[in-house]
Amino acid sequence: MRYIKLPSENFETFFNSLKEWGKVYGPVKKGSIYSFQEVDEVAELALDYTRTILPPKKFFVRPRDTMFRLKDGRWENGVEGEKFVLFGLHSCDIHGLKILDRVYLNEPVDPYYKARRDAALIVGISCMPDEYCFCKSLGTHFAMDGFDLFLHELPDGWLVRIGSVRGHEIAWENEELFEDVTDEDLKHFKEFEDRRANAFQKEIPQEGLADMLDLAYNSPVWKDYAEKCLACGNCNMVCPTCRCYEVCDRWVDAYSSVRERRYDSCFMESHGLVAGGHNFRPTRLDRFRHRYYCKSYFDPSAGFNCVGCGRCDEFCPAGIEHVKVLEEVRGSLR
């Protein structure tokens, strides 16, 4: 992997050069929260953000997404692939996209997702964990691929890792902005990573997690938490790896309509409902437990469907903590 250095004084020029690729979206502060929004100037960016409410998934599978339009009795497909830049993704969110790729890019390929994925230039950025982060224990705290460029904070600029052919092209086109990486830069990079590694306050013990869940299906801990859980679906909405959607038709006027999909939540009672009226998960207990099995149990060979971003914890009205639930379930087996 090629490493180059972007000195602080060139950051703004570099950022502006990305606009040639397409619209640039980055983290901005809105009240007490962060959100990926279109950004015109560097000053609008909140580069020290913790996590956005909605993960970058929203650019590929939109919260509300038009699939087809019915016009004059004919369906028009809504696939679009306008180029854009996602600037400032954290490593966990890059891993989140890789998990979505497995779902949406494997056969049958989702054409909406693919068109937008191909059109996106991804620029990662380093971060410091807060009290909700547990990516390190899941191995998602560092991205080796899944980005075009990745910026690591240095005292006097950014160490840039190049992760794709496109990333190389951008580096070549803007060669005058970059410098070679010195030993001192590498030292600073290592120091930052060490400091970061020691800053995590939470971890999920991965070892035997799937086996543990195998044995713990009837643990009373699930029941206790199902009493607390509001089944409001907030955790699903903000999760970078939740991938269920609901398809609905909406009338635009008397004779035209759109077929839309929107994020769905496995906490809704209709989520497990199938034809004939059978419901696979009729109670809140079933639905609460299901989320944990979906994230940490099904298909363990494919890795976990959780990247430790901490969104579900931060935005749970009932203050339910993902790691704590799993630890209590494990404890109930002892």
Partner 1 sequence: MMDKLKLGVFELTDCGGCALNLLFLYERLFDLLEFYEIEEFHMATSLSGEGHYDVALVTGTVSTRRDLDLLKEARNRSEYLIALGTCATHGSVQGSVELPIREKLKAVYGDESNPMHALDPKPVVEYVAVDFALPGCPYDKREAFQALIDIAKGIEPVKKDYPVCIECKLNEYECVLVKKGLPCLGPITLGGCNAVCVRSGLGCIGCRGPLPGEVNPASEYEILKSKGYDDEYIVRKFKTFARWEP
Alpha carbon distance 72, 58 (integer Å): 30
Site string for partner 1, 294-323 (x = CB under 8 A): --------------------xxxxxx----
Spatial strand order of the sheet with 245-251 comes to 74-77, 64-71, 257-263, 245-251
Evaluate whether 213 touches 329 at the Cβ level (below 8 Å): yes
In whole angstroms, how close is the CB of 280 to partner 1 at the nearest point?
A: 15
Token pair, residue 334, equals: 């002892």
243 is a contact residue toward partner 1 (CB under 8 A): no
Alpha carbon distance 215, 213 (integer Å): 5
Site string for partner 1, 259-298 (x = CB under 8 A): ---xx-x--xxx------------xx--------------
Q: Which is nearer to partner 1, 205 or 282 (CB)?
A: 282
Alpha carbon distance 113, 60 (integer Å): 5
Alpha carbon distance 273, 123 (integer Å): 40
In whole angstroms, how close is the CB of 67 to partner 1 at the nearest point?
A: 16
30 is a contact residue toward partner 1 (CB under 8 A): yes
35 is a contact residue toward partner 1 (CB under 8 A): yes
Evaluate whether 261 touches 247 at the Cβ level (below 8 Å): yes
Q: Which is nearer to partner 1, 185 or 264 (CB)?
A: 264
Token pair, residue 329, equals: 């379930």
Q: Which is nearer to partner 1, 175 or 253 (CB)?
A: 253
83 is a contact residue toward partner 1 (CB under 8 A): no
248 is a contact residue toward partner 1 (CB under 8 A): yes
Residues 37-66 touching partner 1, rule: CB under 8 A, are 53-54, 58, 63-64
- Paired with 261 in beta bridges are 65, 247
Q: Which is nearer to partner 1, 199 or 252 (CB)?
A: 252
238 is a contact residue toward partner 1 (CB under 8 A): yes
SS3 assignment, position 57: helix
Alpha carbon distance 235, 214 (integer Å): 23
**Interface with partner 1 by CB under 8 A: which range of 102-110, 200-208, 246-254, 300-308?**
246-254
Backbone phi, psi, residue 174, to 5°: -115, 35
- Paired with 7 in beta bridges are 157
251 is a contact residue toward partner 1 (CB under 8 A): yes
71 is a contact residue toward partner 1 (CB under 8 A): no
Alpha carbon distance 31, 42 (integer Å): 19
Contact residues: partner 1, CB under 8 A = 30-33, 35, 53-54, 58, 63-64, 227-234, 237-238, 248, 250-251, 253-255, 262-263, 265, 268-270, 283-284, 314-319
